[in-house]
Structures are given as C-alpha cells and as structure tokens.
Amino acid sequence: MNCKRESAQYYEQLEDGIAEMEATVERLRMEIQELMEIKNALYQLNGLLKEELKE
C-alpha cells in the first residue's frame, strides 16, 4: 500500500513540476516575443535616424 501511495505522490509531483515548467516556458516565449518587437522597432528607428542624418 505504502509503495502505491508514494508512487501516486511521485507522479502528482511530477505532473505539477511539468505544469510549472510549461508555464515558465510560455512566459519566456512571451518575453522573447516582446523583446523581438522592441528590437524591430529599434532597428526601424535607427534606419529613420540614419536617413535623417544623410539629409
């Protein structure tokens, strides 16, 4: 009996850990997406500033 209970607890903890990792990965994906958008905006701004300097 004790072994089954420990096994059930192990799998429950494992599932909780996996869910936590998946949530972390999703947060990181969102942060990366935001950073990529900021990077692209900065590249566009840089291009516009370079054009202004040439004029």
Cα–Cα distance, 27 to 2 (Å, whole number): 37
pLDDT at position 42 over 70: yes
Give pLDDT, residue 43: 97
55 versus 38: the higher-pLDDT residue is 38
Taking only the tens place, the pLDDT of each residue in 8-41 is: 999 999 999 999 999 999 999 999 999 999 999 9
* Domain extents in the chain: 1-55
Cα–Cα distance, 34 to 40 (Å, whole number): 10
> Whole-model pTM?
0.72
pLDDT at position 1 over 70: no
